């Protein structure tokens, strides 16, 4: 069974940093692109960024609101995805979901499955 389990959320002050982790199991982690998606309380889904597989170059791309502050990385030896968040702002308060972009016939881009999410609260 494909499973994604996020951890590392919590309460931080504006300007502080936090690193989220996502432990993956049940699939070949190294092969798939991975994304982070967030959801502010009572709001819709917002894509944060994604990282390609190493076979596809391993580059990461980010949404405009987090570019320059957030960094996505992956450790194939631990089957783990990371989201390093720096210079956190109150607007970053959200549940952060880890999700996989499965490949079918060489195409990907949709998200399946999703982890249960981890809550990040930025408040003084």
Partner 1 sequence: DVQMTQSPSTLSASVGDRVTITCRASHSISSWLAWYQQKPGEAPKLLIYKASTLESGVPSRFSGSGSGTEFTLTISSLQPEDFATYYCQQYYSYRDFGQGTKLEIK
Q: Which residues lie near partner 1 (CB under 8 A)?
A: 35, 37, 44-47, 50, 61, 63-64, 97, 107-117
Residue number with CB closer to partner 1 (112 or 124): 112
Q: Among positive and negative, which fits the CA dihedral 50, 26, 9, 17?
A: negative
Name the minimum Å distance from CB 2 to partner 1. 12
The residue among 54, 11, 14 whose CA lies nearest residue 33 is 54
Tell me the two tokens of residue 13: 């002050």
Which residue, 77 or 105, has its beta carbon nearer to partner 1? 105
Q: Tell me how far, at minimum, the Cβ of 48 lies from partner 1, in Å.
A: 9
Minimum Å gap between C-beta 87 and partner 1 is 22
What CA–CA distances, in Å, run from 97 to 28, 33, 40, 82, 100?
Answer: 19, 14, 11, 11, 10
Tokens standing for 47? Answer: 């894509």
**Looking at beta carbons only, is 16 or 56 nearer to partner 1?**
56
């Amino acid at each position: 069974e494909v499973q994604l389990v996020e951890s590392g959320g919590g309460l931080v002050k504006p300007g502080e940093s936090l690193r989220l982790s996502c432990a993956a199991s049940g699939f070949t982690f190294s092969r798939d692109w991975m994304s982070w998606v967030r959801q502010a309380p009572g709001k819709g889904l917002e894509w944060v960024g994604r990282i390609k597989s190493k076979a596809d170059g391993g580059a990461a791309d980010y949404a405009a609101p987090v570019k320059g502050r957030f960094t996505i990385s992956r450790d194939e030896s631990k089957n783990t995805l990371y989201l390093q968040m720096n210079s956190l702002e109150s607007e970053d308060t959200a549940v952060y979901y880890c999700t996989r972009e499965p490949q079918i016939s060489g195409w990907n881009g949709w998200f399946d499955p999703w982890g249960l999410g981890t809550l990040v609260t930025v408040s003084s």
